[in-house]
Structure 1
Amino acid sequence: MRQLEYFVTAAASGSYSSAAKKLFVSPQAISKGVQVLERSIGVGLFERGPNGIALTSFGETFYEEAKSVLESLERLQNMAARYQQEHAASLTVGIHSLCFRENGGTIDWNDLLGFHDAHKDAAPIFLEMRGDSIFDAVVGGEADFGITVPKDSYSSEVESVLLKRFPLAAVVSSSDEDFASKDAVTIKDLAASYLVLFSEEDAFNSFFIEQAREDGIALGISPLQIRAVSDIDFVIGHSQYTVRPYQHATRTTRSDRVRILPIIGADHGENAMPLTIFWKKDRKLTELESLFVEMVVNLYRAAESPQPEVG
């Protein structure tokens, strides 16, 4: 097929040098390829002279047939590429920033790269995203799965698996006298200060605000809205706080000018927020998708399992 390509390009170009430029090879490679083709079929295709090359009478007929063969090959290749695109397994996952280990979460990038290496034919894509964007991407068909806090307004449009319930903490200024003597706080304790919301995180914000509403507490809301992974300098010296996963706060907050206080219920029980992996309702999971869900579930189960003592 390569010899046919060299011949057809040379015939169309009128010279070996022009054909070589189009095919990114040397003129010698074109000349040798044509000679091998001529020996193979036993008939000359070009007349060679001082002014270059010209097709023989047989070469003209052979050129039309060879061109047709190459066009048919290209159609076959395009047909195979379309089939592969339409039928190949694919996987796109939107993952909340706080789920990653570097931000205090459970998922390590290496876990995702390992899954990719094991399923390169599907070329899975993993996107670090904010909560609202994840839901919009899954429901809109731009992503196959999402991992974030569930959003009530989408509950009828998605199916989900609970990964864990993570306890919440308030990050407050160390100079705030209202919390100086406390090792934990209730939502009522926080009502005297101002809550700094996360931007584009309706599900996360709504969960905490709804907990307060159920307890009959109206929360003060700060004019600030920040990203979930932003530094917490904005609370220092101010009567305001941010609510974060306790694990995230303890792993990523290093300042001695703030305090991390677990948020407990009125009955002193844990105040925990759910985390789920979800997909569009009525979607029948492929084998690859089921394997991915299983991997993520196992990651969280392993993280929750007690570790053996050493020594």
Structure 2
Amino acid sequence: MDLRKLEHFVAVAEERNFTRAAARLHIVQSGISSSVKALERELGVPLFERTTQHVGLTPAGRALLPQARRILAEVRTARQEIARVRGGLAGTLNLGILYGYSPTGLATHLVRFRAAHPQVALHLRGTGAHDGTDHAQRLHDGDLDLAFLLVTGVTPGLVRHPIGTETVLLACHPDHPLAAHDTVALTDLATETTIDFPPTWGVRSAVDAAYAAAGVGRQVSFEMNDISTILDLVRHGLGVAFVPGFLTRHAAGLTFLRVRELPGEFEVALAASAARPLSPVSHAFLDTILKPGG
């Protein structure tokens, strides 16, 4: 089986769109369509259900996807091992990042890592992709090698390396009645218009868990995966939003309040799948992050 066909299949499966998959792999759409059709002929089954509005996996496609990811990951690791033996680390690191958050100086670590390993390509993936899959699931699926997580509960099947802590605060307009307080309770927000992240985001998970534990219902009026837009809506008085505490350093014109039912701090960790050994590239990046004084 041609590895290139598997790569094309995985790209379409993850993007749910042939055009986006082709752009991701820097090839023409006709090329990726032909490759997928050839793979389907080779396997004797359709892998995708195609309509003018939707591309979805068939049962055969869903069965093939984790195996294709595993094969591609093992080939990538083998190539990295060979490059290491030859005297230089090479390959790709698929890294999940938290939008806008630079734990322990992420940019500085990336500079150091690239300086030490210039042949490694870094593919950075933000949380809340168009298909709604979160970093934890992408680690399980093999789509990510490592990922930064805002830990809001148990993380089965993942190995976590704590690197810092973060808070979750409530952002509101300075003229909002709540802005006169230092802290608020979830019951104070019963009638508020809430602007929030998708359910797969760490902040949203933390807030949803707090509401559930308090036995308080909630209604999200606006939902989006863009931090700057959320802050802009709050700045224009369209609602309040639960946001990570680091934003207080970059969001002028807003008031931030602590929420009594939310923990004071959440763990920020660099995580990997417990089901697969780390590749040489992942090991090197993890060492860069965890190195004392790095």
| Range class of TM-score, shorter chain | 0.5 to 0.7
Shift of 1:298: 5.1
Alignment correspondent of 1:114: 112
Alpha-carbon separation, structure 2, partners of 1:160 and 1:297? 12
Counterpart among 258, 261, 265 of residue 262 in structure 1 = 258
Question: Could you report, residue by residue, the CA deviation over 1:3-47 in whole angstroms, capped at 9, with x for unpaired residues?
Answer: xxxxxxxxxxxxxxxxxxxxxxxxxxxxxxxxxxxxxxxxxxxxx
Letter in 2 for 1:228: I
Larger Rg: 1
Residue of structure 1 in register with 2:278 after alignment: 285
Matching of residues 93-112 of structure 1 within 5 Å: 93-100=95-102, 106-112=104-110
Deviation at 1:112, TM superposition (A): 0.2
Within 1, Cα distance between the matches of 2:100 and 2:229?
11
In the alignment, is the contact (CA less than 8 A) between 2:168 and 2:244 conserved in 1? yes
Question: 1:143–1:220: structure 2 CA closer, same or farther, 3 Å change rule?
Answer: closer
1:53-202 alignment, distance < 5 Å: 84=79, 87-88=82-83, 89=89, 90=91, 91-100=93-102, 106-121=104-119, 123-131=120-128, 132-150=133-151, 155-177=155-177, 179-199=178-198, 201-202=200-201
Q: 1:244 corresponds to which residue?
A: 243
Q: What amino acid is the match of 2:169?
A: A
* Percentage of identical aligned residues: 17
User: Aligned partner of 2:139: which letter?
Assistant: V
* Structure 1: gaps spanning 5 or more residues: 1-82, 303-311
| Distance of aligned partners of 1:110 and 1:276 in 2 relative to their CA distance in 1, 3 Å threshold | closer
Sort the Cα spacing of 1:200 and 1:298 in 2 relative to 1 into closer, same or farther, 3 A: farther
1:215 alignment counterpart = 214
Q: What amino acid does structure 2 have at the position aligned with 1:159? A: V
Say whether the 8 Å CA contact 2:171–2:255 is kept in structure 1.
yes
Corresponding residue of 1:295: 288
- State the Cα distance separating 1:242 from its structure 2 match: 0.9
3-state secondary structure, aligned to 1:274:
strand
Q: Distance in 1 between matches of 2:276 and 2:283?
A: 11
RMSD: 3.1
Structure 1 ranges of 4+ moved more than 6 A? none
Cα shift at 1:159: 1.8
Change (3 A) 1:108 1:160: closer
Quick check: 1:97–1:128 contact (8 Å CA) kept in 2?
no
Offset of 1:210 from its aligned partner? 0.8
Q: Structure 2-normalised TM-score?
A: 0.59
